């Protein structure tokens, strides 16, 4: 859903598109901050998020969890 261009990361354009589709009024600076925070190890200069970091954020927000058993 987020990586609609199959780039294997989620970037500003991906998040902006989702926010627009959900009719969320999110400022560009807020999207950039989300990416900076989510890029935990600064692998992408705070401008993109890979699957691992995305899942970490989802788990932290209690929106998704993996059964580790």
Distance, in Å, from the CA atom of 64 to the CA atom of 42, rounded to the nearest integer, reads 23
**How far is 25 from 18, CA to CA, in rounded Å?**
11
Nearest partner of 52 among 25, 27, 61, 43, judged by Cα? 43
Q: What's the Cα-to-Cα distance from 65 to each of 8, 29, 31, 39, 62, rounded to whole Å?
A: 20, 28, 23, 19, 7
What local confidence, expressed as pLDDT, does residue 26 receive? 92
Task: Report the pLDDT averaged over residues 12-29.
Answer: 93
Taking the model in full, what pTM does it have?
A: 0.77
Q: How confident is the model at residue 66 (pLDDT cuts 50, 70, 90)?
A: low
């Amino acid at each position: 859903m987020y990586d609609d261009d199959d780039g294997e990361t989620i970037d500003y354009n991906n998040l902006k598109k989702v926010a627009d589709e959900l009719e969320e009024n999110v400022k560009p600076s807020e999207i950039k901050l989300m990416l900076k925070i989510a890029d935990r190890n600064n692998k992408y200069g705070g401008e993109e998020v890979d699957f691992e970091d995305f899942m970490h954020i989802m788990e932290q927000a209690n929106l998704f969890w993996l059964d580790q058993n």
